[in-house]
A and B are shown apart, each in its own frame.
Chain A
Amino acid sequence: MFLEVKNIKKAFHKEQVISLLNFTLEAHKTLSILGKSGCGKTTMLKIIAGLESPDSGDILLNSLRINEQAPEKRGIVYLYQEDLLFPHLTVFENIAFGLRIKKVDKNIIAEKVNTMIQRLELEGQADKMPHQLSGGQRQRVSFGRAIITNPSLLLLDEPFGSLDAGTRTRMQLLFKKLAEEFSITSLFVTHDLKEAILMGDEIGYMEKGNLKVYKDRDSFINDPMTGVQNEISFWDSLNTKKENEPMNEEVKIKNETE
């Protein structure tokens, strides 16, 4: 297994945020994790990224224990819900940031960044400043900035949470495409049921600091805890109601006037 998380526990003061975390993830796969606010998703991601230290347990990346490794040495990029583009840098420089701090050759940077800009469908935006971009464009730059560094693991903390429905769908498709193209291994945290099903090769559900990873999509759908069954019943009830009503109010009024 590429990522192994074993017996992780974490408490802040007396509150147990992560109860007991155990899961594995294969390379080049995406594990989407569904969970409500405050269930410990962000803390889990921060522990894996090295931004928080666990009270106990081990994290193994490529069979190597990384608990004591500094975040900058792990090769794990953590993406926030906010795009966090550097306001003083252009689109080009934002994407190039990770390569510049690793002191990669200028020509290689230019080549890689230009290719990434094309892949992100951001042609003609390279010289723009972050405030000149739309929400979707900003999130794409944020993706590009992370992916270009070729991270061993990408952690996404509700990355589309602040986008409108249309942009969100386009970004989901783009992420799927990029994940395949760049063979990305990722943990995708979301509180959106549909997004969790769409984005993950594997799906997990997190509640009160516990994570349950399902063996397949059907098990996730059939588990009443995940809320999928509730959602299905809701839409079914709407459908049944619609079928029982002979005509809707608008048609009724129209007929009466005629």
Chain B
Amino acid sequence: MQLLTAILLSALRTAGLVVSITVLVFFLVRVIPGDVVDLLSAEGGLDAAMQEEMRQELGLQQSRPAQLGNWAANAVHGDFGDSLRFHKPVGGMVCQALPTTIILSSLSFAYGLFLGCAVAVLAVLWPKSFFPKAVETLNAWSVAMPTFCAGLLGILVVVLWLEWMPMLGNMFLAVVVLGTDVAGQIAKPLYEDLKETATSKFIMTAKAKGLGKTRVILFHLLPNSLSVILALSGIILGGLVGGTITLEVLFGLPGIGKLALDGVLGRDYPLVQAVILLLAVAVVCINWFTDIIAKLIDPRLRSH
């Protein structure tokens, strides 16, 4: 019961957050100097009358609160408006771009999670091997090598020098680059937590019972660190939601990040609003799910 109330309360708060973000973004994109008509006329040379007509048609001459009202009323019905530049429904454009981003981020996350956990566990299992060093190296790599730099180095070596694969639309390389970054973010904190837990008494008990080292680590140590893995996953997934943008630009993948960048640069208000709303909802849901799962697997958290 208590758990249920907590979940409902956080759902309410979450909904409030999403609504505030939508409103904030709505006004933020409209503060951008110059609207789409200005940009188009700078490119194509529209005269004053045509500009006026275009603004009328796009509803840009209305007051901002009125525009917000219209937009919100339509958005509730699932209609996010037409792109000001491409004259296509924004919803369709987002749906087209969504699979690319989902595949990219989920594959990189899965690969990174697996690599990070594996290296951290092996480092605890064999402290004298090269695995503890590998944890440090992975961590240093993800701190010091931004994904767009790593992506460029990858292109240089794999595409241009070794000529193994093409550059454009190269999902494989993007996943490797992004996933290695994720692994670095997971491996170090997990390793530290595992090492710290390894000194606690229930581990000593397990060892004293005569259980094997592998068994102790996999079935006693690792479950205790599940909440750390979960918390890290939440943060990393939230970061991935926006973090795919540079790789999408670099590898020419037609995903959400690319769409958002084009929208912001082209003053395409409906496009930006839809994308940011979507991403904010994604982040909020990720946080919400990790919260709930954390409470489910760790009874100590439920009272808070």
A and B interact: no
Name B's A-contacting residues (CB within 8 A): none
